[in-house]
Structure 1
Amino acid sequence: MTRPTITQPQLVPVTSIDSHLPVLPPDALTADALRARLAAQVSWTPEFAGDGGRFADREPAGAAVLVPLVQRDEGLTLLLTRRTDHLRDHAGQISFPGGRVEPEDDGPIATALRETEEEIGLSRERIRVIGQLPVYSTVTAFQVTPVVALVEPGFTLALDDFEVAEAFEVPLAFLMNPAHHRHHRFDFGGVERRFLSMPWQGPEREYFIWGATAAMLRNLYRLLATA
């Protein structure tokens, strides 16, 4: 099946906004609270498992991304990247640092840490892994493991300017507020695609967080909201 390409996701109609869902209290979004929740291994079901490569013509491949939560004085922020516009895949999109599992990697944590160092120059010495989220299957047949980590501030980044146009931080409280979660539906040639977005207005521009990145963040919300 040919994958309907979405080149301007911000123009796809919004079908609903989840302002009816509960907002997480501030004490659920601290470093200690996240560490405890991920360690508890509570029983929960992720809301988004992905499209499972239904549009891909190749075998699934392993990948991992880092979900880097920076411990700022004003609260946790999420460090994200904007991909460069010339890339063949995911050009210009907002992403977690990460990538394909390589043979020398000893599991998804090793992949996430290596890719983060290569893409944005964030040293693993400032990263403390606190858990993982369920695997997310992308439309391009990657089986992505999100690795959640706390990041000590005071770092200096060195971006791989071939892959990464910029790195920026978004308050975790904004991303975990379902009033900012928007559902979209796209139909092309009888094929339907649905996706989630979390647009964030930064100091100088809007960042349209959508697709797999938004889906994995929504799964984090579901974990933290589980009683």
Structure 2
Amino acid sequence: MRDPVERLRAALAQPGAESSDFDLNPDFKLPEGRRLRPAGVLVPVSLTTGTPRLILTKRSSALKHHPGQIAFPGGKQEEDDADVTAAALREAEEEIGLPRDLPRVLGQLPEHETVTGFRVTPVLAVLEQNFEPVPETGEVEEVFSVPLAHVLDGANYLIESRYWRGMRRHYFTVPFGPYYIWGATARMLRGLAARMEA
């Protein structure tokens, strides 16, 4: 088997288009003149267990936006952040206690537009040392990991739907055990899986 870092670097080198929460909903009309806010999320792959694992968070059920959803650590870019990579690393430190100098950043995946008005850049990184996750209680209910191979297998993805703002909205899901990974997180992971399969 090829080295996982080599495989991830090869995936980053593949051409690929930006994605959005509306990819599976071509009839949805995006508002004219919309202004998107830049954000960065960390896609941290731990290499410390022998089998690469993707670290994810379950958002607090008390949050106003996306309560209880599965997400990457990350958030909007602040004025003090040098770029979206810095924003992703800062947010990961704040949300799950990941020291900023621990991840080895491999690169960025194409931007993803969310229904909430963000232009999200996924920052792919590997962790070659263990760390003790410390969830930020106001935002994060749980820090967990799933086998990277699970989310890189296109066969594990489903397209489901629900009504949202009066219309049926379709989206990707990639469930794992008790974790229902869907929406923007699943869409960004599906993009990575497609690159790995290329």
- Whether TM exceeds 0.5 here: the answer is yes
Length-normalised TM-score, structure 1: 0.78
Identical-pair percentage:
40
What is the total number of aligned residue pairs between the two structures?
Answer: 193
Question: Which residue, 30, 37, 53 being the options, matches 2:4?
Answer: 30
Compared with structure 1, are the counterparts of its residues 32 and 73 closer, same or farther at alpha carbon in structure 2 (3 Å cutoff)? farther
Structure 1 residue aligned with 2:15: 43
Structure 1 stretches of 5 or more lacking a match? Answer: 1-25
TM-score normalised by structure 2 residue count: 0.89
> Offset at 1:224?
1.3
Counterpart in the other structure of 1:215 = 187
Answer with 1 or 2: which has the greater Rg. Answer: 1
SS in 2 for 1:103: coil
- 1:68-217, aligned counterparts within 5 Å? 68-187=44-163, 191-201=167-177, 206-217=178-189
What is the DSSP-based 3-state SS (H/G/I as helix, E as strand, rest coil) of the residue aligned with 1:66? strand
Matches within 5 A, 1:53-64: 54=30, 59-64=35-40
* CA offsets 1:80-103 (integer angstroms, 9 cap, x no match): 000010100010000000001101
Residues of 1 paired with 2:164 and 2:103: CA distance? 42
**Partner Cα distance (2:51, 2:131) in 1:** 17
What are structure 2's unaligned runs of at least 5 residues? 24-28
Find the counterpart in structure 2 of residue 23 from structure 1: none
CA contact (8 A) 1:181 1:198 kept: yes
Is 1:224 equivalent to 2:158 in the alignment? no
Deviates more, 1:131-140 or 1:57-66: 57-66
Judge conservation of contact 1:30–1:75 (CA < 8 Å) in 2: no
Contact 1:31 1:71 in 2 (8 A): no
Amino acid at match of 1:49: S
